[in-house]
Amino acid sequence: MRPRVVVIGAGFGGIGAATRLADLPVDTTIVDQRNHHVFQPLLYQVATAGLAPSDIALPVRGIFQDDENVDFRWATVERVDLGQRLVHVDSGPPLPYDYLIVAAGSQTRWFGIPGVEEHALAMKTLEDATSLRGHILAQFERATAEPTEIDEGALTFVIVGGGPTGVELAGALVELFEVLDRDFHHLDVTRARVVLIEATEHLLNGFTEKSQRSAIDTLEARGVEVRLGQAVDRAGPGRVHFKGGEVLATNTLIWAAGIQPAPLAEEIGIERGQGGRIVVRRDLRPPAYDNVFVVGDLAGAVDHKGKPYLQMASVALQQGHFAGRQIGRLVRGRRPWKFRYIDYGEMATIGRNAAVAELAFGIKLRGVLGWWAWLLVHLVRLAGFRNRLSVLFNWAWSYIRYDRQARIIVHPEDRGSHRAPASDIGTRHQP
Amino acid sequence: MRPRVVVIGAGFGGIGAATRLADLPVDTTIVDQRNHHVFQPLLYQVATAGLAPSDIALPVRGIFQDDENVDFRWATVERVDLGQRLVHVDSGPPLPYDYLIVAAGSQTRWFGIPGVEEHALAMKTLEDATSLRGHILAQFERATAEPTEIDEGALTFVIVGGGPTGVELAGALVELFEVLDRDFHHLDVTRARVVLIEATEHLLNGFTEKSQRSAIDTLEARGVEVRLGQAVDRAGPGRVHFKGGEVLATNTLIWAAGIQPAPLAEEIGIERGQGGRIVVRRDLRPPAYDNVFVVGDLAGAVDHKGKPYLQMASVALQQGHFAGRQIGRLVRGRRPWKFRYIDYGEMATIGRNAAVAELAFGIKLRGVLGWWAWLLVHLVRLAGFRNRLSVLFNWAWSYIRYDRQARIIVHPEDRGSHRAPASDIGTRHQP
């Protein structure tokens, strides 16, 4: 019988691994609680009505349609029995494995700040992004029906977290306002505010100071209020309280401040290190388990400078590819290599014609050039030929027409509520 | 002050009326509980993963972006005060009017058959279609995880109602199976069944006998089990009972059997006639109200043969246009004309390369020709240039690649449940 591989998670790490495993003499099963892979770097485009959810989601089975040896199980992992080599799931029989790849990723981290999990909107899943889109549009509808609510924060959008997600969302949001200004004939859309909060003194931590400065300048020129060194103390209905005492009236508190490992990291019972990530050797295997690889956000591997790898798509993808290939080596009785990340750089878009990109070989692009580089890289990376065309089409439309076509509110129950009730749609629901 | 017009409903009737009103010296407000117009004839494409929801939904404000005198209110109508000429809504102040157009449309009719409203899935709203898509895909995931469930009806899809909705859905569903057959490597997709139930002895009532026969032949050749003269007695979890005693095990009972007027028809307090539709004169005004027009599914107007008009998009659209124009006449102090429906014909697609079309001037098309005619007409009618391109793109892709790109399950809670819990997402929800 051929070796059986189970891959937990269909994010960049899991899909990366499975694409390599597809070419090996092994039978692979991917498990995920969603039936699709999400291109997370473009979630903010869905949240701001630039792209439709299906533009950035690919059915897992579709990706491996031609790979007879790759199967999929739509299920939530309940427990991993490392001794018996079994993955117990909530749908169908348990999955036996000879090799296991843990790529369960991460989830929103609320930091235990009072009221935040209850009152803030997350930006981590496709459901989060769709809910956020509905919520944002609903605020404008509310403001035009009851203009007095603007003073109570109906049009104040607070984004917490100055990383790429927060920056890209802030930039896209002010652009959405321009479209909505044409949509709403009797609303003073100039009253809409985007406030970007960052606890440290830097936006886009990890970028050079020049890029960081460029991001702040561009955001502020476009009307975003950037507040550095400010932290949230607590949140209540329609209010956010900052450390230092300031209170801001807002209906929309968007939480892009941090992530934490998926619950499986703890449940699996393997030693964890910094940030709750699973401790792995340089070959991405936990010390005591030679048939287990951990990749992506969950992996606590350190780079050659001794720091844990950044939790980003490109690291997860490369680690996934790596783990898949190493299983090929193990199957042939060879020893795995050590993982080495090839850094092609980082980029963040700040909106139309503006982005910062810090690429390999010291190439740094800002403004229009950075934006085109961003566009190109994301189009190339976006898995799936058809999605790529559809996204290109949507982007071209938005660019030429200054329009956002996907501004529909899908769940009517969003209407009038302080926040989208769909906030926990992303979590598991046992019927 | 310019005359104020309130249009209740953003379906074909309401949008049709507002496009005419936009050119008149009046101020118009459209009220709808959704912020978008839905191109309902293509709902079945969303339900079968051929098109994305935003492909067939246009934001109402986007349609009237350049018409400063047309505004929108995202709200549910609670009550119409015909005496005070006020439309009371649940969001924002009441809307005063000089002229009122009632275009509230219809909703799924359950006929009071026991268990049906509880266990069947409707096909009337965008949320219905999205839920149905998730539910269908979830059944295949379930069947591959637990093959024994196939005997219990996991892959038996029962569609009740042999009108265009039921016929088009049945045809599209068996085509989706072909895509899923490539997706599911370890599932015998040939076990999936589509059973189309019709209580009368005819599919596509209103078409000629030859077209009806052609539809049945095509459906059966593609594997749909067509059952005429069969009616549902009651439905239970995983079961549908027919009159006559037969019981069918199914996880999926799709209800396309009929519609009934929206609740507003009763609440508004104007005399109603056949099928609960509001009685109107030949000019579409109720006898006692000279400043009110009723259009579309709600209007009980009779055609020149003395029968009520069919409840279909083209009637609603023409009546909307008509009512809008008549308000222009009233404003100028003239008397309204009588409404006359121009019958351009009817068409229904049965899937790839097959449709029946019965057009004006006695033109009847079947098979491939009918299909191309259907495609062309629907592309032309689909409001909004960008949607049209996007739909064309998706169709071309599906046609060339035999693929359905949008097969993503958006709400994980669909998983494993007998039916999508989102079935009442379409109804109003007061936070």
Model pLDDT for residues A212-255, shown as the tens digit of each residue: 999 999 999 999 999 999 999 999 999 999 999 999 999 999 99
CA R_g for chain B: 22
ipTM topping 0.95: no
Q: Which residue of chain A is at minimal alpha-carbon distance from B417?
A: A431
Q: Which residue has the higher pLDDT, B203 or B422?
A: B203
Percentage of residues in chain B with pLDDT exceeding 70?
Answer: 91
Count other Cβ atoms within 10 Å, centred on residue A212. 20
Residue to mutate among A74, A107, A423, with most B CBs inside 10 A, is A74
Cβ <8 Å between A409 and B36: yes
Cβ <8 Å between A65 and B397: no
**Domains detected in chain B:** 4-33+75-108+260-331 (3.50.50.60), 116-257+345-424 (3.50.50.100)
pLDDT for A357:
84
| Dihedral, B315, B318, B319, B323 alpha carbons, nearest 10 | 170
Range with the poorest average pLDDT among A139-148, B225-234, B407-416: B407-416
Q: What is the mean pLDDT of residues B278-286?
A: 97
Q: How far apart are CA B14 and CA B31, in angstroms?
A: 9
pLDDT for A389:
66
Which residue's entry shows tokens 């009110």?
Answer: B292
Please give, rounded to a whole number of angstroms, the shortest distance from the CA of A312 to a CA of chain B: 23
Cβ <8 Å between A145 and B73: yes
Q: Which residue has the higher pLDDT, B276 or A390?
A: B276
Cβ <8 Å between B35 and A408: yes
Q: Residue B426: pLDDT above 60?
A: no
Buried b (16+ CB within 10 A) or exposed e, B46-63: bbbbbbbbbbbbbbbbbb
Tokens of A158: 């607070």
Task: Decide if A157 contacts A136 (C-beta within 8 A).
Answer: yes
Please give, rounded to a whole number of angstroms, the shortest distance from the CA of A174 to a CA of chain B: 18
Residue to mutate among B410, B417, B418, with most A CBs inside 10 A, is B410
Q: Which residue of chain A is at minimal alpha-carbon distance from B431?
A: A417
Cβ <8 Å between A34 and B182: no
Q: Residue B429: pLDDT above 50?
A: no
pLDDT for B383:
63
Q: Residue B79: pLDDT above 50?
A: yes
- On chain B, the residues whose CB falls within 8 A of the CB of A52 are 52-55
Please give, rounded to a whole number of angstroms, the shortest distance from the CA of B12 to a CA of chain A: 17
Q: What is the mean pLDDT of residues B122-128?
A: 94
Count other Cβ atoms within 10 Å, centred on residue A148. 8
Q: What is the mean pLDDT of residues B327-353?
A: 91
Range with the poorest average pLDDT among A116-120, A332-336, B260-264, B302-306: B302-306
Torsion over CA: B46, B52, B56, B60 (sign):
positive
Q: How far apart are CA A289 and CA A123, in angstroms?
A: 34
Percentage of residues in chain B with pLDDT exceeding 90?
Answer: 74
Cβ <8 Å between A55 and B53: no
pLDDT averaged over chain A?
A: 89
- On chain B, the residues whose CB falls within 8 A of the CB of A71 are 185-186
Task: Decide if B82 contacts B289 (C-beta within 8 A).
Answer: yes
- On chain B, the residues whose CB falls within 8 A of the CB of A419 are none
**3-state class (DSSP) for residue B287:** coil
Task: Decide if A121 contacts A254 (C-beta within 8 A).
Answer: yes
Tokens of B84: 């005070």
- On chain B, the residues whose CB falls within 8 A of the CB of A68 are 185
pLDDT for B389:
66
| Dihedral, B404, B408, B409, B415 alpha carbons, nearest 10 | 80
- On chain B, the residues whose CB falls within 8 A of the CB of A183 are 59, 61-62, 65
pLDDT band at A401 (very low <50, low <70, confident <90, very high): low
Q: Residue A418: pLDDT above 50?
A: no
Q: Residue B150: pLDDT above 90?
A: yes
Q: Residue B164: pLDDT above 70?
A: yes
Please give, rounded to a whole number of angstroms, the shortest distance from the CA of B66 to a CA of chain A: 8
- On chain B, the residues whose CB falls within 8 A of the CB of A415 are 33, 74-75, 91, 431
pLDDT for B349:
86
Range with the poorest average pLDDT among A104-108, A135-139, B223-227, B345-349: B345-349
pLDDT band at A140 (very low <50, low <70, confident <90, very high): very high
Closest C-alpha among A56, A58, A46, A68 to residue A10: A58
Count other Cβ atoms within 10 Å, centred on residue B323. 33
Torsion over CA: A116, A117, A121, A125 (sign):
positive
Q: Residue B416: pLDDT above 70?
A: no
Range with the poorest average pLDDT among B59-68, B139-148, B315-324, B346-355: B346-355
- On chain A, the residues whose CB falls within 8 A of the CB of B18 are none
**3-state class (DSSP) for residue B416:** coil
pLDDT for B55:
85
pTM for the model: 0.90
Beta strand pairing status for B252-255 and B156-160? parallel
Cβ neighbours for A81, distance < 8 A, ≥ 6 positions apart: A87, A88, A94
Closest C-alpha among B44, B251, B7 to residue B165: B44
Active site residues of A: 168
- On chain B, the residues whose CB falls within 8 A of the CB of A428 are 412-413
Q: Residue B174: pLDDT above 70?
A: yes
Please give, rounded to a whole number of angstroms, the shortest distance from the CA of B247 to a CA of chain A: 25
Q: How far apart are CA A104 and CA A110, in angstroms?
A: 19
pLDDT band at A383 (very low <50, low <70, confident <90, very high): low
pLDDT band at A385 (very low <50, low <70, confident <90, very high): low
Q: How far apart are CA A375 and CA A394, in angstroms?
A: 12
pLDDT digits (tens, 9 = 90+) for A48-98: 998 889 888 889 999 999 999 999 999 999 999 999 999 999 999 999 999
Q: Residue B237: pLDDT above 90?
A: yes
Percentage of residues in chain A with pLDDT exceeding 90?
Answer: 74
Q: Which residue of chain A is at minimal alpha-carbon distance from B394?
A: A390
Buried b (16+ CB within 10 A) or exposed e, A272-285: beebebbbbeebbb
Please give, rounded to a whole number of angstroms, the shortest distance from the CA of B187 to a CA of chain A: 11
pLDDT digits (tens, 9 = 90+) for A338-378: 999 988 888 888 887 788 888 877 888 888 888 778 878 77
β-sheet with A364-366: strand ranges across: A345-351, A354-359, A364-366
Q: How far apart are CA A347 and CA A167, in angstroms?
A: 11
pLDDT band at B191 (very low <50, low <70, confident <90, very high): very high
DSSP string for residues in B195-206? EEEESSS-SSBT
Cβ neighbours for A396, distance < 8 A, ≥ 6 positions apart: none
Percentage of residues in chain A with pLDDT exceeding 70?
Answer: 91
Cβ <8 Å between B408 and A36: yes
Q: What is the largest CA-CA distance in chain A?
A: 71
pLDDT for B413:
45
pLDDT for B255:
98
Cβ <8 Å between B53 and A52: yes
Torsion over CA: A372, A374, A375, A380 (sign):
positive
Q: How far apart are CA B150 and CA B156, in angstroms?
A: 8
Q: Residue A123: pLDDT above 90?
A: yes
Which among B146, B409, B431 has the least Cβ separation from residue A421? B431
Cβ <8 Å between B387 and A407: no
* Beta partners for residue B364, in sequence order: B358
Amino acid identity, position B304: H
Residue to mutate among A65, A87, A185, with most B CBs inside 10 A, is A185
Cβ <8 Å between B185 and A71: yes
Distances (CA, A) of A370 to A169, A173, A381, A394, B90: 17, 19, 16, 20, 46
- On chain B, the residues whose CB falls within 8 A of the CB of A409 are 34-36, 74
Q: What is the mean pLDDT of residues A391-401?
A: 70
Residue to mutate among B6, B51, B54, with most A CBs inside 10 A, is B54
Cβ <8 Å between A407 and B59: yes
Which among B142, B144, B429 has the least Cβ separation from residue A412? B429
pLDDT digits (tens, 9 = 90+) for B293-337: 999 999 998 887 888 999 999 999 999 999 999 999 999 999 999
pLDDT band at A407 (very low <50, low <70, confident <90, very high): confident
Cβ <8 Å between A386 and B408: no
Tokens of A238: 């329609």
Q: Which residue of chain B is at minimal alpha-carbon distance from A427?
A: B412
Active site residues of B: 168
pLDDT averaged over chain B?
A: 89
β-sheet with B292-294: strand ranges across: B70-74, B27-32, B4-8, B99-102, B292-294
Cβ neighbours for A310, distance < 8 A, ≥ 6 positions apart: A206
Cβ <8 Å between A408 and B36: yes
Tokens of B261: 């007027």
Q: How far apart are CA B309 and CA B70, in angstroms?
A: 28
